[in-house]
Amino acid sequence: MIGRVDGTRISITGLGSYAPERVLTNHELAQMVDTSHEWIVERTGIRERRIARPDEAMTDLALPAARQALEQAQVDPASVDLVIVATVTPDTMFPTTSALLADALGASDAAAYDLLAGCTGFMYAVAQAYGMLAGGLSRRALVVGGDVLSKIINWRDRRTCVLFGDGAGAVVLDRVDGGGFVGFELGADGAGGIHLSLPGGGSRTPTTAETIEQEKHFVQMNGPEVFRFATRVLVSSAEKLLAECGRSIDEVDVYVPHQANVRIIDHAARKLGVPEEKVVINVDRYGNTSSGSIPLALADAAADGRLRPGALVLMTGMGAGLTWGSSLIEWTDGVAA
């Protein structure tokens, strides 16, 4: 799916993020599995990640991020009529995290649902919220991307446990007078889905004592295949979108790729021709937070002053499904129309 925005201008008018307090370092991981700080840094760029407490679930990460975003947008939570939470680690399959979140915020008139698109979830959710606002169905949307992957990781599997972390980000979407979203490109390749999966617990393989014994409730990943996929789609999705929107890569001021691995990001930036100073990287501090990755990176870019009004921001996510998604946005100053 690809589309260039025309007509109604819609933008991000508030941004918030939250990561659990607990920092897990590579050195600690080296005490748990057969790995080393040096291997992890060299192959992934990750130095540490945040890990939720046993009693912390997705709603607990989403709530502070959402409150911060609403505060920044200077809007009453009750005025939000759409809440989408992109996550593969909801508190429970149902009730949904989004419904629990809307209730906790006091967004009592909001439609609320969770969205599953792996690490691309945030990009899919933002595109959906854009469509709801542009189509006149929603007046104001709250989109959260986040995951508590530490709860579905096999902490004895060194091929996966060193890569992931927990975190969430939230954005408020509103109509604006100028600037805002320029276009979206989203895609999926189910044939490649096998390379990144959580096989147990669904309707194909319901939970039994045997599925637990066989460790089917943990993330399974073919690292090299996912690496190849990621390096390919980060480039192709961004190029397709830029062409559709009639923009060149030189016009992009801030590049926010999914934070999975510094080598993947470096490869994509090099192929696309984005200079280092325009690339946002925080995977070294958070690891791969799945749907939380892009909004957490946006929050970092905002904190260091890169998201100035008028800046053209390119975001691209990719992940389980396999899925990918890009968006171009002309950053606005946060004032809704």
SS3 state of residue 181: strand
Distances (CA, A) of 261 to 56, 175, 200, 231: 26, 34, 26, 10
Active-site pick, 195, 258, 261, 282: 258
161 counts as catalytic: no
Q: Is 234 helix (H, G, I), strand (E, B) or coil?
A: helix
Which residue, 152 or 243, is less far from ligand ACO as judged by CB? 152
Q: Quote the tokens at residue 50.
A: 């945040």
DSSP 279: B
| CA atoms within 13 Å, Cβ hemisphere of 336 | 19
- Residue sitting closest to ligand ACO (CB): 319
Q: Which residues bind ligand ACO (CB under 6 A)?
A: 35, 39-40, 43-44, 118-119, 158-159, 162-163, 196, 221, 223-224, 226-227, 230, 260-261, 288, 290, 319-320
CB nearer ligand ACO, residue 105 or residue 235: 235
Least CB distance from residue 267 to ligand ACO, whole Å?
Answer: 11
In a 3-state reduction of DSSP, which class is residue 49?
Answer: strand
Collapsed DSSP state (helix, strand, coil) of residue 119: helix
* Dist CA 123 CA 72 (whole Å): 21
Instruction: Find the shortest distance in angstroms from Cβ 320 to ligand ACO.
Output: 4
Nearer to ligand ACO, 82 or 221 (CB): 221
| Least distance in angstroms from the C-beta of 336 to ligand ACO | 32
Element (H, E) at 147: strand 141-148
Question: Is 119 in the active site?
Answer: yes
Q: Which of 26, 261, 282, 288 is catalytic?
A: 288
Catalytic residue among 119, 161, 195, 261: 119
- To the nearest whole angstrom, how small is the minimum distance from the Cβ of residue 39 to ligand ACO? 4
- Please identify, using beta-carbon distances, which residue of 75 and 233 lies nearer to ligand ACO: 233
Q: Which helix (H) or strand (E) holds 66?
A: helix 58-73
Answer yes or no: 288 catalytic: yes
Whichever of 20 and 325 has its CB closer to ligand ACO, that residue is: 325
Phi, psi of 201 (to 5 degrees): 100, -15
CB 146 within 8 A of CB 65: yes
Q: Write down the least CB distance from residue 237 to ligand ACO, Å.
A: 14
Q: What is the smallest separation between the CB atom of 316 and ligand ACO, expressed in angstroms?
A: 12
Between CA 169 and CA 17 the distance in angstroms is 4
Return the number of the residue (64 or 193) whose C-beta is nearest ligand ACO: 193
Secondary element (H or E) of residue 299: helix 293-303
Catalytic positions: 119, 258, 288
